[in-house]
Amino acid sequence: MSIEGKAAERLTRRALSGKASHAQTKEVFSGLAWKVAGSKPRGASHSVYQLLKHMSYWQDWVIRWLAGEKPAAPQHASGSWPTEAGPSSRREWEDAVKRFRQGLGKLERACRGAGPSAGRGGAKRLEMIHAIAAHNSYHAGQAALLRQILGTWPPPSGGVTW
């Protein structure tokens, strides 16, 4: 693989992790009590739980696409958002966080050998992974802000400070 291809892979892995940009994406949900995860501060469109589930929905969609499947997209944006504001139990919350982290790991591994030219149809594998990294980054920032409003930030791993 070319130097440019390796650089593109490295940059995409960094984008997935949030490294050097913001608190690590996989840690944004750490240390949050399950009942708080379902709280919606006044004026907020979504809870932290809903953000997590939405992020997982699209991560899973991209993982399936990368595996050669042809996953259907929802008819409307609302189809990728959960209707329930929060999990019904601690276990449900922990499972949702675990699933999200596992998806991140799969995407990071999918970067290997993806290169700028590897693709399917009109879309390139690395472009798809980078798109979900940007999507996750956007919503991870929303989750961090909600956690700040709820008084539960930073996560145990810390936030980004210097």
Q: Is 140:54 a contact under the CB 8 Å cutoff?
A: no
- Name the token pair of 110: 């999918």
CATH number at residue 142: 1.20.120
User: Could you give the CA distance from residue 9 to residue 35 in angstroms, rounded to a whole number?
Assistant: 37
Nearest to 129 by CA among 98, 105, 151: 105
The total domain count for the chain is 1
- The boundaries of the domain holding residue 100 are 3-39+46-149
User: What type of residue is 51?
Assistant: L
Does 154 fall in a domain?
no
Does 96 fall in a domain?
yes
pTM for this entry: 0.91
Mean pLDDT by 10 residues, the chain (162 residues): 76 83 90 97 96 98 94 95 97 98 94 67 80 95 96 86 51
Does 133 fall in a domain?
yes
User: Could you give the CA distance from residue 137 to residue 15 in angstroms, rounded to a whole number?
Assistant: 8
